[in-house]
Amino acid sequence: MFRAINRRAAAGLLLALGLTTAACSTGRESTSGAPSVAPVGGKISITYLQKQGDQEYFVGEAAGARAKAAELGIDLKVVNLGNDANKTISEVQSAIAQKTNGVIVVVPDPAVGPQVVQIARDAKIALLTSDDQVCATGPDPAKCAKSDLVPRIGFSGAQMGGEVGKRAAEEFKKAGWNAADTRTVSAWKQDVTVCGDRVRAAKEAFDSAVSGVRNIDVATDNTPTGAQDKVAATVTANAGVRHWVVWGCNDENVQGGVTALQNAGVSPDDIDGVGLGAYLACKDWSGGKPSGMKAALFINGRDVGALAVQTMYDRLRNNKEIPAEAFAPTTMVDAATWKSAGVTCG
């Protein structure tokens, strides 16, 4: 539960939950005691807006959402926003025009967050995010007070990054590399808050187990080709490095980094890539050839989609408070275990 919050913070959170302006005016309620969206007695309608809806993770997320909606008797509409921030706004407006009761959104750009929250508040509908954070009062969730963050369903960035860094350290030790001629690469889109959480936790976990390895931060667009291009330039600028450890915000960054290294002539034996997602890492393993992708943390989008729909349903049907964050489980997999873990190769 949240702690009691001041007038400004309470107003931001009430906006995030799509509550009425009148409810904000008191400024005295804690989150747990704040008035709620009126329960829906009839059929519930939910709109799920996803960035990059054709990516394997988000395909699974949509499938999990649809399955849960069918189980609960919900009318669910899933919309692929691609990477179009402007489409986010127009689709939220369209959902409201179609009388949706609640919106779940994965924003392509967190900068649209305040506008999305304002639209939801004006329409008095419930709002929930999945995967990425959204701030009710500003464009950058990293600079947002916790009380102004829209409730989120997804994974713990710190927990995920910690698992990745821990496994990367295990692979480093198993390989017997020298810290002096090894570099770690942290690759991520640096304006996405959850990405920063993940790579920071990975570095901290790695450094707590291995000392003396220098890290190189690589800014990417979170795509395989974008990461490949940036890591290729990094390799060129660090010609004396023999061994490379690669982690990032997602599988795309790690696969792009591993591909860049292998294209530069670095042997898979000298690459310690630990992905996050496993939906691309498994492609390397299914081919049976040596790969620098040594492991990946399996995050199941189906679990997130189902949990998001269930959480929104509980809010709309039973007036149950939405938690600040709720997390789905994760599993570390590798070439020997990914199939039995249920990873779907994208």
Residue type (1 letter), 72:
L
Residue 64: what pLDDT?
96
Place of tokens 């999990």: 64
Q: How many Cβ atoms from other residues are within 10 Å of residue 326's Cβ?
A: 19
166 vs 170: CA distance, rounded Å? 6
Residue 26: what pLDDT?
28
Residues 6+ apart with CB under 8 A from 238: 183, 216
Please name which of 180, 199, 177 lies closest in space to residue 190, comparing C-alpha atoms: 199
Q: Is 82 left (phi over 0), alpha (psi -120 to 50) or beta?
A: left
Weakest-pLDDT range from 7-11, 23-27, 342-346: 23-27
Kindly provide the residue ranges of all beta strands, DSSP E only, lying in 198-336, ordered along the sequence. 214-219, 243-248, 271-277, 293-299, 325-327, 330-333
156 vs 158: CA distance, rounded Å? 5
Residues 24-41 have pLDDT tens digits of 322 322 332 233 477 888
215 vs 196: CA distance, rounded Å? 15
* pLDDT score of 11 more than 50: no
159 or 37: whose pLDDT is higher?
A: 159
Which two tokens mark 6? 């001041």
| Global pTM value | 0.71
Residues 171-223 have pLDDT tens digits of 999 999 999 999 999 999 998 888 999 999 999 999 999 999 999 999 999 99
331 vs 72: CA distance, rounded Å? 27
How confident is residue 19, by pLDDT bands cut at 50, 70 and 90? very low
Which two tokens mark 166? 């821990």
- Mean pLDDT rounded to a whole number for the chain: 88
Place of tokens 């988000």: 58
Which two tokens mark 5? 């919050």
User: Do 216 and 155 meet the contact criterion of CB atoms below 8 Å apart?
Assistant: no
